[in-house]
A = this chain, B = another copy of it.
Amino acid sequence: MKVGFIGLGAMGSAMASNLIKAGHTVTVWNRSPQAAESLVSLGAKLARTPDRAAQGDVLFSMLANDRAVREVILDSGLLDAMDRGAVHVNHATVSVALAKELTAAHAERGLDYLSAPVFGRPDVAAAGKLNIVVGGKAAVLERVRPLLEAMGGGIWPMGDEPERANVVKIAGNFMIGAAIESMAEAVALTRAHGVEAADFLGLMTGTLFATPVYKGYGQLIAEQRYKPAGFALPLGYKDINLALAAGDAARVPLPFASVLRDSLLETLAAGDEDVDWAALAMVAARRAGLDR
């Protein structure tokens, strides 16, 4: 199939390269064109403008946030350049509100639209093992399923409404944040009673909580290694605010998310913008009078 791919950050590049390796003709675009070079060397065509990348059967996009999606997809006229019946698969983690707006904008133009946010870091994307959450019509999903399977190890349909995939992604990121905060508080508590963080976390992430989420963040916490950021704290703050906004829209109180918001904000207020969101453990320790 003839496809386009917009947004070539660490995630987008890895995903697009798997489409190329699967034999598809991929036209790519990125704001800074250097990011496209390695894909071009794999066989991708470079588009000079985003709408050129949107002229195939399927357009994939992996942009950073609401603002970027609004700018590149909605405000640019790109959708008007797409052929009726083409599909746009949006992998970005965006707000539920924007997801609804995008759904309407595509429908007005006779375009098919899937929300398809992903779970997994760049190495997982490179291995083609992402978990891809999909919101949108089942028939549309079936048309692009082979393409998604080139990028993902699991395809998780959530029903006809595209925004459902977004709320699932948002809720999943909230659960990761909550897992970090629970380790942060538990480590502050046990350290204050004389237990080494590595001893406590070694036990917990080696037994009851033996998953990559807990192991990965647990190790950062045990080593107090918050830089360089794997997932920068301001992004975590953005995601928790997306959860609170989704809760606002559907009238869902989220007390854990409120605590997370306040703790992340406290870190930002302290000037720590470039740390990993594992640094929630730094806040918890400081509140307990540790590490002063």
Give residues in A with beta carbon < 8 Å to B.
Answer: 96, 119, 131, 133, 154, 156, 158-159, 161, 163-164, 167-168, 170-172, 174-176, 178-179, 181-183, 185-190, 192-195, 199-200, 202-204, 206-214, 241, 243, 246-248, 250-259, 261-263, 265-266, 268-271, 284, 287-289, 292
Measured CB to CB, the closest approach of chain B to A117, in angstroms, equals 11
Q: Give the complex CA separation of A263 and B171 in angstroms.
A: 19
Q: Give the complex CA separation of A262 and B288 in angstroms.
A: 10
Contact in complex: B164, A193 (CB < 8 Å): yes
- Copy tally for this chain in the complex stands at 4
Cβ–Cβ < 8 Å partners of A185 in chain B: 174, 178, 252, 254-257
Contact in complex: A186, B207 (CB < 8 Å): no
Contact in complex: B119, A208 (CB < 8 Å): yes
A206, A212, A258 — most chain B CB neighbours (10 Å): A258
Closest to A154 in B: B207
Cβ–Cβ < 8 Å partners of A164 in chain B: 190, 193-195
